[in-house]
Amino acid sequence: HEVPLPVPDRRGATEVTLAAAAKIEDVRQRLRAAGAGAAHEARVLRLWAQALPQDSGRRRLEDFMPRSLRSALPDIEAQLEGLARLQSAHPAADGSERLLVALPDGQTVESVLLPREGLCISSQVGCAVGCVFCMTGRDGLVRQLGSAEMVAQVALARRRRTVKKVVFMGMGEPAHNLDNVLEAIELLGTAGGIAHKNLVFSTVGDPRVFERLPQGRVKPALALSLHTTRPQLRERLLPRAPRMTPQELVGAGERYARASGYPIQYQWTLLEGVNDGPDELDGIVQLLAGKYGVLNMIPFNAVDGLDFQRPSWERAAAIARTLHRRGVLTKLRQSAGQDVEGGCGQLRARAARQQAG
């Protein structure tokens, strides 16, 4: 006869409901309140984060489960599914697929299924950094995502296809929602079964990131948005990024790369006439030659209402070749799914425009 003790949650209710901005701890409390022991909790989290099919281990899971948990499980699973629901899917010719994902409160974010079993997820609704070439940054921060909403994006994507790599490069600045992002990373790197080097924390750079990441049980790879080697231009392009100069950023990145064993991915959105001149190339060589990292150059995608131009692919390729010759490992990339609404944040923007009528 099993009578589970009610576990008060941090809002003082006896039963935790997984609502907007739910954290992984809320999921754990919800399970404990239904009578789950540590082993049940771990298995339910594993089945969720890996989106394992109904028949893989579920029957065994249920056989050894207290009755109270068995009867609560369908409701808990429905709540977990409700943390990230597919609103629309937009496949692209390059094999990627943009997903517009609805959160429990009706807010939406984007996830992108990338070629080669990758997934890009969002960590915030909107973003406070306000990069002048980014659609997401235009309306500021709407709200933080809870860690469970991030894992739920992975579970949703895994119900569509295999995911072996998760990059936090969608909407939002992970450093501005650090606790939640680190919690999600820890779960994805343990119960979620993702190799640690295949979890990528992407940031404009923040001193707190360089303090916290090395302390984590799961140490992700790091992508740093550099975009220019000129401190003043960087302040104009990324107006509300923490004041770290490109030099400080690369210094801190290099220390983390050496400590973690993974090369840093330096991100550079190529804007014609802004950060593609010979001065920048010299600056890049000075900063990055010999460093443990790779420079990803992504030609800007023309976006309605944003006043930048995309350099031609030939010009971008010539820049990448020059840098390579001068000792900087450079990769020229398209942003995924760019035939479907260009860069990140545009699906959400379009959906909002449609809703506004």
In angstroms, give the least distance from the CB of 40 to ligand SF4.
37
Decide whether 164 or 333 has the Cβ nearer to ligand SF4. Answer: 333
Query: Does 125 sit near ligand SF4 (CB under 6 A)?
Result: no
Helix (H) or strand (E) holding 178: helix 178-189
Stretch that binds ligand SF4, among 87-95, 125-133, 248-256, 309-317 (CB under 6 A): 125-133
The CA-atom distances, in angstroms, between 332 and each of 27, 62, 146, 283 are: 41, 49, 33, 18
Pairwise CA distance, residues 281 & 264, whole Å: 19
Residue at shortest CB range from ligand SF4: 137
Query: Does 134 sit near ligand SF4 (CB under 6 A)?
Result: yes
Count CB-CB contacts under 10 A for residue 143.
15
Angle at 208 between CA 204 and CA 211, to 5 degrees: 120
x/- mask, ligand SF4, residues 242-281, rule CB under 6 A, reads ----------------------------------------
Mention every residue, 6+ apart, whose C-beta is less than 8 A from residue 138: 130, 345, 349
Q: Token pair of 14, please?
A: 């006896």
Helix (H) or strand (E) holding 188: helix 178-189
Q: Of residues 41, 110, 149, 341, which has the active-site annotation?
A: 110
Single residue of 136, 180, 229, 330 touching ligand SF4 by CB under 6 A:
136
Single residue of 26, 97, 173, 280 touching ligand SF4 by CB under 6 A:
173
Decide whether 171 or 250 has the Cβ nearer to ligand SF4. Answer: 171
The CA-atom distances, in angstroms, between 248 and each of 122, 215, 236, 346 are: 26, 20, 17, 32
Decide whether 47 or 169 has the Cβ nearer to ligand SF4. Answer: 169
In angstroms, give the least distance from the CB of 264 to ligand SF4.
17
Pairwise CA distance, residues 230 & 109, whole Å: 32
Stretch that binds ligand SF4, among 55-63, 96-104, 166-174, 207-215 (CB under 6 A): 166-174
Decide whether 204 or 288 has the Cβ nearer to ligand SF4. Answer: 204
Contact 146, 110 (CB under 8 A): no
Query: Does 342 sit near ligand SF4 (CB under 6 A)?
Result: no
Q: What is the DSSP letter of 73?
A: H
First to last CA, the chain: 56
Stretch that binds ligand SF4, among 76-84, 169-177, 228-236, 329-337 (CB under 6 A): 169-177
Q: Of residues 120, 131, 134, 344, which has the active-site annotation?
A: 344
Which residues between 185 and 224 bind ligand SF4 (CB under 6 A)? 204
Does the annotation count 110 as an active-site position? Answer: yes
In angstroms, give the least distance from the CB of 97 to ligand SF4.
20
Q: Which residues of 111-137 are buried (b: 16+ CB within 10 A; e: fewer)?
A: bbbbeeebbbbbbbbbbebbbebbbbb
Q: Which residues are catalytic?
A: 110, 344
Residues in contact with ligand SF4 by CB under 6 A are 127, 129-131, 134, 136-137, 171-173, 204
